[in-house]
Structure 1
Amino acid sequence: MTRLHVGCAMWNHKAWSGRFLPPSLPARERLRAYAGWCNAVEGNTTFYATPARDTVATWARQTGPGFRFVVKLPKVVTHERRFAGVEAEMRAFLDAIEPLGERAVLWTQLPASFGPPDVDALVRFLRRLPAARRRAVEVRHPGFFTDPGSTSLLERALAAADAEWVPFDTTVFFRSPPSSEAEQEAWDRKPRLPRRTRALTDRPIVRYLGRDSVEETVAGWRPWTAVVAGWLREGRSPTVFLHTPDNHDAPSLARRFHDDVRALVPGLGALPEPEPVEPATLF
């Protein structure tokens, strides 16, 4: 069954308390509350440290079978050693996320220095991953986007490994100078690359960065609603992650994106209604 997954860069944010998540919610229950708003999440924390298997098991218990985790490979694998001599680290990582089962997608995010000459190393690495594991790759070297030969080279490599190419669309964000501290930080850190809308597998993944302004963010994603609607009509099951520099409204924006796509694809099922957030009390 085709399904649109939408989500955010995290399942907990200070600004969400009392709005999207109940105030003073224990850490062990925050993912469950978040999963009432969204049906996917980026696993960015795994980039910095491989979690304990028991911790991941609590993630699995807090989410239903239709929830999707896109978990980032450790930086020691992708950035520090660039796939060389990482067998022990990958065994530990794969064992840790095993409780998520088919809900987990392995997300290989590569640094901007990883260019077309390095594709062979990526191919060898992808071949060693378990065949049953879904995999996706995000590249940031400009050559993959601007040189047709390099684009084709990477597409062939990913297609051979049944891996998706994850675009991080920042084009809307970089149209005008930053107007807040959060936007300035993103301006300095986020990649500036052309928008890419071609899917390689039946489960495309998109990361979209808007602005702190809700209106600008919504206006900027309109090209994506058409693309995602087309993928759904083709029988694909895409995942779209909504980012803004401050992420204050990210859960509601993710749901709004889902609603906009559903208006184009009436057969798409609605997201479940989140539980009401009760206001904090003194007693």
Structure 2
Amino acid sequence: MWAHGPWVGRFLSPGNKGNELSEYARWCNAVEGNTTFYAVPAASTIEKWAAQAPDEFRFAFKVPRTVTHDLRLRAGADAALAEFLDRISPLGERIGPVQLQMPPSFGPNDLRALAEFVGRLPATHRWVVELRHPAFFDGGAAHRAVDSILSDAPTGPIGRVVLDTRPLYAESPRSEASVDERRTKPKLPVVTDLMGDEPVVRVIGADPSDRSLAGLTAWVPQLVDWLAEGRRPYVFVHQPENLDSPDLARRLHAAVRELVPGLEPLPDPLPVAPRGETTGQSSLF
């Protein structure tokens, strides 16, 4: 997300509704486009995003759930995917890895559908797949089969998204939001054997920000190695209430940059007026 009520007066300026993306892009250089999972955005919405996002910004969109959850990559999924890709096309190079987030019920019996769908993916985009069925994480036959499908994809190797829920499960939940996170985010092993050129890591934090930060910085050695190999990793942090996510992301970037001085710095955020004040800017939309 790039617009969140609790961020107003801290990361986002009051009175700037509709222009949050332009401010968020000064805090972070990428966003996980979760809204596209629920619906294909209107063309006018894409135009707004294109107007606010700088050229170097990247959207890591999720494919609409119609493709992954309703049609489960089967009949009709190709047309639904094509509609989505056409809709987001005005964003051009700002489109980062496109995510296929599969439901937990998508398991070994669905490997043929996955193989056939992957075989038809257009090479115009970079693809990653998030799997949640336990059989794809135990080193067994299904695990090996899915890795073979993804590594041999006609578009080139397709990476597996890492859903790192270790910080979330490291302590007892302290809020209803944290309890709800545990209902929707599975506790799965962290597997990094097949990540591709643009590794995508989703770190699911806990209520205390220090726990979330510890979970993030645990990835620093791996990120440094990936960068040394010429890869372009994406790391997203999510908390039960997302109170500190932009700051946590910047702190991770700073920790990596200490070890990789050539890493491009993040932009300086714009000054943010406290709640009850405005910046003098009017919304672009």
- TM-score, with length taken from structure 2: 0.91
Match of 2:5 among 14, 35, 40: 14
Q: Which amino acid aligns with 1:148?
A: G
Match of 1:172 among 167, 172, 175: 167
Match of 1:51 among 29, 41, 57: 41
CA distance in 1, matches of 2:277, 2:245: 28
Q: Cα distance 1:113–1:280, how it changes in 2: closer, same or farther (>3 A)?
A: closer
Contact 1:36 1:272 in 2 (8 A): yes
Contact 2:173 2:207 in 1 (8 A): no
Match of 1:31 among 21, 30, 49: 21
Q: Which amino acid aligns with 1:67?
A: F
Q: Which residue of 1 aligns with 2:176?
A: 181
CA distance in 1, matches of 2:146, 2:45: 35
Q: Which residue of 1 aligns with 2:270?
A: 275
SS at match of 1:172: helix
- Per the TM alignment, residue 282 of structure 1 is displaced from its structure 2 partner at its CA by 6.1
Match of 2:223 among 228, 231, 234: 228
Q: Cα distance 1:281–1:178, how it changes in 2: closer, same or farther (>3 A)?
A: closer
CA distance in 2, matches of 1:49, 1:281: 33
Match of 2:199 among 195, 204, 212: 204
CA distance in 2, matches of 1:112, 1:280: 41
CA distance in 1, matches of 2:245, 2:170: 20
Q: Which amino acid aligns with 1:116?
A: P
Contact 1:46 1:74 in 2 (8 A): yes
Q: Which residue of 2 aligns with 1:97?
A: 88
- Per the TM alignment, residue 33 of structure 1 is displaced from its structure 2 partner at its CA by 0.9
- Per the TM alignment, residue 196 of structure 1 is displaced from its structure 2 partner at its CA by 2.0
Percent identity between matched residues is 46
Contact 1:18 1:277 in 2 (8 A): yes
Contact 2:164 2:202 in 1 (8 A): yes
Contact 2:197 2:232 in 1 (8 A): yes
CA distance in 2, matches of 1:266, 1:197: 25
Q: Which amino acid aligns with 2:34?
A: N
SS at match of 1:200: coil
Q: Cα distance 1:39–1:134, how it changes in 2: closer, same or farther (>3 A)?
A: same
- Per the TM alignment, residue 93 of structure 1 is displaced from its structure 2 partner at its CA by 0.9
Q: Which residue of 1 aligns with 2:148?
A: 156
Are positions 1:74 and 2:69 aligned together?
Answer: no
- Per the TM alignment, residue 61 of structure 1 is displaced from its structure 2 partner at its CA by 1.9
Q: Which residue of 2 aligns with 1:257?
A: 252
CA distance in 2, matches of 1:185, 1:281: 31
Contact 1:67 1:103 in 2 (8 A): yes
- TM-score, with length taken from structure 1: 0.91
SS at match of 2:235: strand
Contact 1:102 1:133 in 2 (8 A): no
Q: Which residue of 2 aligns with 1:5?
A: none
CA distance in 2, matches of 1:55, 1:222: 34
- Per the TM alignment, residue 109 of structure 1 is displaced from its structure 2 partner at its CA by 0.3
CA distance in 1, matches of 2:67, 2:184: 21
CA distance in 1, matches of 2:162, 2:211: 20
Q: Which residue of 1 aligns with 2:32?
A: 42
Structure 2: which 5+ runs fail to align? Answer: 279-285
Q: Which amino acid aligns with 1:17?
A: V
Following TM superposition, where does structure 1 have runs of at least 4 consecutive aligned residues deviating by more than 3 angstroms? 280-283
- Per the TM alignment, residue 259 of structure 1 is displaced from its structure 2 partner at its CA by 0.7
- Per the TM alignment, residue 243 of structure 1 is displaced from its structure 2 partner at its CA by 0.9
Contact 1:53 1:99 in 2 (8 A): no
SS at match of 1:136: strand
CA distance in 1, matches of 2:277, 2:37: 38
